[in-house]
Amino acid sequence: MSFQPEGIESVLITEDAIRTKVRELAARISSDYQGSQPLLVGLLKGSFIFLADLARALDIDSEIDFMTVSSYGNSMENSEVRILKDLAEPIAGRDVLIVEDIIDTGLTLSKILDVLAARHPRSLKVCTLLNKPSRRKADVTVHYNGFDIDDVFVAGYGIDFAQRYRNLPQLVVVRKPV
Ligand code: IMP
């Protein structure tokens, strides 16, 4: 990093390590979806760089769409997701792969899975770059997982810290917002 952005404590995952992992995930996905044309659903905004790299590393045909959701509440009982931007096309009968930046409590993802499952896709799977297993509150199956990380607050590679640092090519640990 040529500049020292405020609040950054350390580099957690380097650009090289991310590139290697994205290739590994793409190879597995390409092999599992042979003969299919999956719809990659990126959850905005955090997944935009990961999805762009993953999609280019696939050697199968695919389609891409995005959803934007916002979540409220922090428990299983009262968490709600509001769809701010929905998919452009129906997904009935499609192989759908959700592409997420980080799974933290899993509450957002579990609600999105419910919403999308009700639309009767042929298959519905999850790919995430980062996973914080120690924070999990909702039971979600992660089919493709980049890195398990500890309970730290990260930014970079599309992921923000108060809307900043999405453009950093590596993943960094930032001081947790208070
Ligand atoms: P969950 O519903 O708790 O799993 O929330 C996951 C979402 O929270 C991710 O898609 C991110 O948008 C956000 N998030 C969780 N951990 C971090 C982090 O360390 N840095 C930035 N955003 C995070």
Tell me what pLDDT residue 71 has.
75
Q: List the chain residues with pLDDT less than 70.
A: 1-5, 73-78, 176-178
Q: 146 in ligand 1 pocket by Cβ < 6 Å?
A: no
pTM of the model: 0.94
Of 56, 61, 82, give the one whose Cα is nearest residue 71: 82
Whether the CB-CB separation of 63 and 40 falls below 8 Å is answered with: yes
Distance in Å, CA 102 to ligand 1 centroid: 5
Mutational pocket test of ligand 1: of 81, 159, 165, the residue with most ligand atoms within 8 Å of the beta carbon: 159
Of 101, 92, 89, 30, give the one whose Cα is nearest residue 60: 30
Tell me what pLDDT residue 49 has.
98
